[in-house]
Amino acid sequence: MKLINKAIIAAAVGVALSNVAILNQAVAAEVKPAMSEKHAKAATKYRQSVFQLVRSNMGPLGGMAKGALPFDESVMQTNAVRLEQLATMMGDYLSVDTREYNVETGAKDAIWENFSDVETKVAALKTAAQGLQAALDAGDKSAYRGAIGKIGASCKSCHDDYKKD
């Protein structure tokens, strides 16, 4: 009986994971132009809001990685989950091309010209956030600093290519 239950659970998990993979492919963002100045301003505001949330979650992690703050596993777990969630949303907010309208933005035009690269970098952020969660789940304190560093490196790679100075 236990073997049958384990087999059923394993099959259900397999189906769920394949559905998630299909859904992730189906909802990949594509670049679309803002439809009006109002839309461009709203899209810019939302995009900047997501990045403010990223910053608010990265700040404590960066402080911990640099040794300025003690490691706090609860904060690391919460912030890693939040960063993963924010990364999941980024494609939608970055995909609205606001270049046609006069909006104040720190985004370089290259974001919309190389959007598949942007999506790759956003996926790296999500993977890095999951890596910190995995280190925490394993209780591997020696991996915390490196896992946080990978999150920071993923942020930096996007900033270097797509954020105005």
What's the pLDDT tens digit per position in 102-158? 999 999 999 999 999 999 999 999 999 999 999 999 999 999 999 999 999 999 999
Q: Write out the H or E segment, with its range, that includes residue 55.
A: helix 37-65
Does 39 carry a binding-site annotation?
A: no
Known binder of ligand: residue 158? yes
- What's the Cα-to-Cα distance from 136 to each of 60, 64, 141, 144, rounded to whole Å? 16, 14, 7, 7
- Which pTM was predicted? 0.82
- Rounded percentage of the chain residues whose pLDDT exceeds 70: 83
- Would you state the structure tokens that stand for residue 39, as one six-digit string? 């839309």
Got the DSSP string for 67-94? TSS---HHHHHHHHHHHHHHHHHHHHHH
Determine whether the annotation assigns residue 114 to a binding site.
Answer: no
Q: What is the DSSP string of 93-131?
A: HHSEE-TTS-----B-THHHHSHHHHHHHHHHHHHHHHH
- As a whole number of angstroms, the distance between CA 97 and CA 31 comes to 6
Q: Which of 100, 159, 154 is nearest to 124 (CA)?
A: 154
